[in-house]
């Protein structure tokens, strides 16, 4: 159990491939933490290998991108999830985590909303990609993960935090009971249940005011696909994790964690 289980990539034409990536491993580590378990050391090592020279994180380890995959820059979602889990597992101290978060996420904010644009997006919201031409993409599941990192490290006063929280709450009000609208809030997540889970984690990390959004997405969007995790924007390929689905369904089992108890707290 020292090596994290791979995810499965599925294309629209039926092709599949196994994929060892840091992001899905980060969600596995998070699920164990929320259940009060420590992740195996090898899983945390896998997260650390996804770090980039500037401290941000990518989807795959440095140099470990599959041949079929396009070159992707670091992004806010990978950085927030992996940095949060490494910090709460004791791999990165608070000072270093705060410094990396400010340097890699603090200036990735929406400068303007294109017209016509989604009515729920607020100027100043944290964006997804760390590159020029796609710098304006906002995914609320990624935003929730950034909020969790900032709150758990005491950075809730940085510019962008309240704007991003406002976007989340406005998005939830706008989506209401419409599954299609909830799906549109997170282009890189086919299942709105992943947004719900990110919001639950953010609330556990201390972000306030999210209970209504959590309840609303739960009512409107019961999970349909048990193991899909993420995707390219609004479409295939999709990444699936039977291991994550089993952990969420059955809870940690013998051998799935190295110890009992929380790793760290807000």
Radius of gyration of the chain (CA): 17
- The whole domain housing 116 covers 19-228+240-247
Q: Is the peptide bond before 214 cis (omega within 30 degrees of 0)?
A: no
Q: Which residues pair with 37 in a beta bridge?
A: 260
> How much is the pLDDT for 117?
80
Q: Is residue 147 part of a domain?
A: yes
Phi, psi for 38 (deg, rounded to 5): -90, 140
> How much is the pLDDT for 166?
98
> How much is the pLDDT for 135?
54
Phi, psi for 67 (deg, rounded to 5): -60, -30
DSSP output for the chain: --SPPPEEEE-TTS-EEEE--HHHHHHHHHHHHHTTEEPPHHHHHHHHTTB-TTS-B-SS-TT---TTSPP---BHHHHHHHHHHHHHTTSS-HHHHHHHHHHHHTT-B-----SS--TT--TTPBPSBSSSTTTT---HHHHHHHHHHHHHTT-TTSTTHHHHHHHHHHHHHHHTT-HHHHHHT-TT-S-HHHHHHHHHHHHHTT--S-HHHHHHHHHH---SSSSEEEEETTEEEEEE-HHHHHHHHH---TTS-SEES-S---
Q: Is residue 4 part of a domain?
A: no
Extract the residue ranges of the chain whose pLDDT is less than 50: 133-134, 254-266
Q: Is residue 265 part of a domain?
A: no
> How much is the pLDDT for 37?
94
C-alpha closest to that of 153 among 198, 100, 76: 100
Q: Is residue 11 part of a domain?
A: no
Q: Is the peptide bond before 56 cis (omega within 30 degrees of 0)?
A: no
Number of folded domains that form the chain? 1
Q: Is residue 184 part of a domain?
A: yes
């Amino acid at each position: 159990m020292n090596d994290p289980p791979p995810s499965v990539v599925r294309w629209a034409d039926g092709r599949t491939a196994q994929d060892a990536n840091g992001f899905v491993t980060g969600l596995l580590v998070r699920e164990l933490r929320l259940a009060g378990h420590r992740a195996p050391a090898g899983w945390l090592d896998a997260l650390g290998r996804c770090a980039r020279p500037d401290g941000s994180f990518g989807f795959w380890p440095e140099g470990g991108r599959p041949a079929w995959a396009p070159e992707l820059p670091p992004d806010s979602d990978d950085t927030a999830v992996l940095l949060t889990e490494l910090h709460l597992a004791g791999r990165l101290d608070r000072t270093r985590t705060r410094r990396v978060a400010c340097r890699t996420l603090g200036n990735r904010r929406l400068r303007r909303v294109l017209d016509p644009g989604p009515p729920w997006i607020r100027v100043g919201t944290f964006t997804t990609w760390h590159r020029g031409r796609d710098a304006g993409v906002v995914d609320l599941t990624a935003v929730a993960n950034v909020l969790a990192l900032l709150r758990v490290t005491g950075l809730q006063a940085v510019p962008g935090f309240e704007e991003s929280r406002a976007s989340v709450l406005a998005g939830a009000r706008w989506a209401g009971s419409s599954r299609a609208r909830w799906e549109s809030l997170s282009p890189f997540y086919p299942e709105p249940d992943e947004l719900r889970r990110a919001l639950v984690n953010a609330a556990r990390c201390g972000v306030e005011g999210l209970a209504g959004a959590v309840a609303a997405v739960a009512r409107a969007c019961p999970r349909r696909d048990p193991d899909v995790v993420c995707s390219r924007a609004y479409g295939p390929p999709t990444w699936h994790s039977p291991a994550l689905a089993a952990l969420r369904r059955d809870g940690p089992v013998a051998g799935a964690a190295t110890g009992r108890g929380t790793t760290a707290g807000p």
